[in-house]
Amino acid sequence: MKVAIIATDNFEEKEMTEPRKALDHAGAQTVLIAPNKGRIRAIQHDKPSETYIVDMALEDANPDHFDALMLPGGALNADRLRVEKKALDFVRQMDREEKPIAFICHAPWIIISARLARNRHFTGYHTITDDIINSGAHYEDVEVIRDSNWVSSRQPSDIPAFNREMLKLFAEHVPAHA
């Protein structure tokens, strides 16, 4: 299974690295995608952390070449990506094809800006509760929610549950060629 991970500068480090490790360990091929090639900087809460090599520029990423999508959080990361047309188009196409999507923390902003939230059930970081509700989605303050082809979680402390449900969802969608 080939999994796209879309992020940009100031993504929450554990929300990318821990799910990516879980996916890699399960045998998935993960590809870190960002608006620009090069490196992107992680944060740990509000402190700058490591930089990570981008595997592919967003403009070169074709949703047809991926089986699943994972969106890490971080307020600045999600806020930037929610206005990136190519990121929104990528998310829309993945959802239209009912490919699995996992997102955590502030990443629901991307889902909301892609106009996919109405009548869906998901969670996110407590500071964006109103955004989720105002988008027409059903919000619940729990560590993980699965709704059809989506898995969502609130924050880094939810990562064990997030990884468990993400792996379960993604395993149900392993393509025939895998």
Active site residues: 106
Please tell me what DSSP assigns to residue 58. G
The radius of gyration computed from the CA coordinates of the chain, to the nearest angstrom, equals 14
Compute CA 116 distance to the chain's CA centroid, rounded to the nearest angstrom.
14
Q: Do strands 144-147 and 150-153 pair parallel, antiparallel, or not at all (unpaired)?
A: antiparallel
From first CA to last CA, the distance across the chain in angstroms is: 6
Contact (CB, 8 A) for 52 and 42: yes
Q: How far is CA 71 from CA 102, 112, 150, 176, 177, in A?
A: 6, 13, 11, 24, 24
